[in-house]
Amino acid sequence: MGIFELIADLAVIFGKEIFISKLQSIFIGYLTNTAASVRQKGIQKSSILAQNFKQDWIMNEFIPVVTNHYTVDKKGYNYRMCCLNSLSAVMPYILKDQITQYVIPIFTKATKDDIPNVKFCVSKILHQQRQYIDQNVF
């Protein structure tokens, strides 16, 4: 996990362009890492990266990869929950209409998941992050 933590820290130091070209593909591996602690640390670091790299990176680089992992990769429920929590981690740094267009459809899909833990996870996220969601959508 030490190398993984360094990747996100180096990204902040070296900047968005270096991160995208050299480190992003390694970093995003947290989504499918078998260790829960690595996935949790990735979620935390995603928030830090979002805060530093802003809306452009979130919308063009991060959200497409996370939503693809959620919808295409049919892996265990814990990986789907990691994707949901990753989306939640970047919600404070994007606009409400972007949340409505790109994040809410994934959350809606999660409410229909066969696994109760995934449904609970999305319910918890919606409750915690309701201030970032357009109330007409909520």
How does the average pLDDT of the chain come out, rounded?
92
d(CA 136, CA 79): 29
Answer yes or no: is 14 within a domain: yes
Answer yes or no: is 62 within a domain: yes
Answer yes or no: is 138 within a domain: no
Give the tokens for residue 37: 């602690």
Burial of 11 per CB tally in 10 Å (0-12, 13-18, 19+): buried
pLDDT (average), residues 69-80: 85
Report the domain count for the chain. Answer: 1
pLDDT (average), residues 113-136: 94
pLDDT (average), residues 89-110: 96
Domain that holds residue 33: 2-132
The string of pLDDT tens digits covering residues 12-48 is: 899 999 999 999 999 999 999 999 999 999 999 999 9
Helix (H) or strand (E) holding 117: helix 116-128
Q: What is the pLDDT of residue 73?
A: 62
pLDDT of residue 137 exceeding 80, the answer is no
Answer yes or no: is 79 within a domain: yes
Answer yes or no: is 137 within a domain: no
